[in-house]
Structure 1
Amino acid sequence: MSLPDLTYIAAPMVNQSDAPFRLLTRRYGATLTYTQMLEPCKLLNDREYLEFHLRDIQALAQGSGDFDDFGSGWDGYARPLVVQLCGNDPELVVKAARQVQTHCDAIDLNLGCPQEHAKEGHFGGYLLGKQDWPLVQSIVSSMSHSLLVPASAKIRLCPSSDPMSATAAFGQLLEHAGASWVTLHARHVSAKRRRQGAADLEAVRTLKETLNIPVISNGNVRTSDDVRANMEYTQADGAMVGETLLGNPTLFMGGLPDPVLISLEYLDICKQLPGVASLNTIRTHVRHFVEFQWSVQMSLIRFYYF
């Protein structure tokens, strides 16, 4: 199976990886986008949930195509797309993946979610402990042998007295199970604090040196210069960016957009893709655009005057 362009990736983000925002990031340099993490049980048992997310996944392919100013209409930005799933049951994950695989270019297994509900449900980053490695291997192997599209995995640092070595070993397990690429957010899992210091880019570099499949680096990006520095240091095959991209969706092109203009552009896409992004999601995106620019301006003021 051929792989999508993994160079510049818009990360999966809860309630923020909607189709209008994915299109916005693709317009400004992202080569690949992810959906938010989807729950297999809901895809299989909640028809409203399935229909909502299918509508989101297929939105760009069904749009009006009124984007000639950006080169190639909808088709140029709808794909490639990765759908991210969570779960701890190989059969359920594969069944859910089959519901969406014809509308995307890969299925990613979330092995990094640090939130409390992931801890309670025993999925995401709470499958990184060595006792769960055989289960993870079974899930990824089932995905890679049962789906029409590549399978990948997004992970965090494995809990260990030597997390760098443990994470490299876990990466090898994923590779041998059939993962087509691995993304490492090089921080530890914590339900209370998603970030505990800077991401350990040395761990990404070690993982890249260990594996024969592509490795994507996630973390420590605030500017476009950070993206280049990150990839140069880690030698990763691509960079995945999350929260910084929420504030500046033009990051991969090195821009810093006017918050009003980028908000209007996003709202225009939402108007052309009705029923895809909720009102709360739209409001949150606009708030991120404005607050990010405010923080940049305040940083400049402090730099020059204090």
Structure 2
Amino acid sequence: MLVRAYSADVAFTPMIYAKHFVASEKCREAEFITSIGLSFIALSTFVRLKQFYVLLFYAGDQPTIVQFATNDPEEFAEAAMFVSRNCEGVDLNCGCPQRDVMKEGYGSSLLTEPARIADIVATTRRRISRADFTVSFDGITFLSFQQLTLETCRRAESAGVSFITVHGRTPEQRSEPADFDMIKLIKSSLSIPVIANGGVKSYKQALEIAKYTGADGIILL
């Protein structure tokens, strides 16, 4: 809700493990909590209605994209089905560099598997065909493997991904300057929207990055 106050165009939920979200009703309920003392329902509260969950929003708290971590196409598609009625899209996390996440084959470890990412996107598209529902992924770049990075993005585009968020750092980098040249290259290689991320500290800098890379938007984490 805070970012909405500063005119953010879209907000993402925190990363959710699709495996647990799909398998456990308790997990689905635990991931989203209502603030009892407030007069409105907080962002990302799920209410079960028959066989699906409805995502309830504070007034004006849209568009919202729900981000899941998984490496299983059916798992991601099923999680997307749960939330598809009341959010604008789902996002596959391909950028988290944390060891426990990568150990499961999630997050940035997925970027070495272009075919799997494409399969996840295509499977979800087959399950949810609505043109206004986005399926996206966010990822960091492998600067030493430029062609692999480009292949991953191109295959996802062919599979029907709506847009891609690119963080201009490798999994090993944390505070090093982001490589906006790589983001620029990815943008010029695709026909879908590309969102730039990495080291953005001011509105002025965001505008400069967007102009330099040709990115369609800037995301702040």
Residues 186-245 of structure 1: per-residue CA shift (max 9 Å, x gap)? 11113xxx5151110001111111100000000121111111111111110000011xxx
Gaps of 5+ in 1: 1-22, 64-73, 243-306
For 1:214, which of 183, 193, 214 is the aligned residue?
A: 193
Tell me how far apart the structure 1 counterparts of residues 74 and 57 of structure 2 sit (CA, whole Å). 31
Tell me how far apart the structure 1 counterparts of residues 220 and 178 of structure 2 sit (CA, whole Å). 12
**Structure 2 length as normaliser, TM-score?**
0.84
Q: Give 2:217's aligned residue.
A: 238
Q: Give 2:159's aligned residue.
A: 177
> Which of these two proteins has the greater Rg computed from alpha carbons?
1
Q: Using the TM superposition, give the Cα deviation of residue 54 of structure 1 relative to its aligned residue in structure 2, in angstroms.
A: 4.6
Q: Greater share of strand residues, 1 or 2?
A: 2
Tell me how far apart the structure 2 counterparts of residues 188 and 88 of structure 1 sit (CA, whole Å). 19
Q: Give 1:57's aligned residue.
A: 44
Cα contact 1:85–1:109 (8 A) shared by 2: yes
Residues 91-141 of structure 1: per-residue CA shift (max 9 Å, x gap)? 111111111111210110111110011121011100111xx2222211111
Q: Give 1:300's aligned residue.
A: none
Q: Give 1:167's aligned residue.
A: 149
User: Which runs of structure 1 show a deviation greater than 6 angstroms over 4 or more consecutive aligned residues?
Assistant: none
Q: Give 1:245's aligned residue.
A: none
Gaps of 5+ in 2: 34-42, 47-54
Q: Using the TM superposition, give the Cα deviation of residue 29 of structure 1 relative to its aligned residue in structure 2, in angstroms.
A: 1.6
**Structure 1 length as normaliser, TM-score?**
0.62
For 1:94, which of 60, 73, 77 is the aligned residue?
A: 77
Residues 231-263 of structure 1: per-residue CA shift (max 9 Å, x gap)? 111110000011xxxxxxxxxxxxxxxxxxxxx
Tell me how far apart the structure 2 counterparts of residues 26 and 212 of structure 1 sit (CA, whole Å). 28
Higher RCO by CA contacts (8 Å cutoff, separation 6 or greater): 1
Q: Give 1:228's aligned residue.
A: 207
**What amino acid sits opposite 1:79 in the alignment?**
Q
Alignment of 1:2-151 (within 5 A): 23-55=1-33, 56-58=43-45, 61=56, 63=58, 74=59, 76=60, 78-129=61-112, 132-147=113-128, 148=130, 149-151=133-135
Q: Give 2:139's aligned residue.
A: 155
Q: Greater share of helix residues, 1 or 2?
A: 1
Identity %: 29
Q: Using the TM superposition, give the Cα deviation of residue 61 of structure 1 relative to its aligned residue in structure 2, in angstroms.
A: 4.3
Residues 267-291 of structure 1: per-residue CA shift (max 9 Å, x gap)? xxxxxxxxxxxxxxxxxxxxxxxxx
SS of the residue corresponding to residue 79 of structure 1 reads coil
Tell me how far apart the structure 2 counterparts of residues 25 and 94 of structure 1 sit (CA, whole Å). 28
Cα contact 1:90–1:138 (8 A) shared by 2: yes
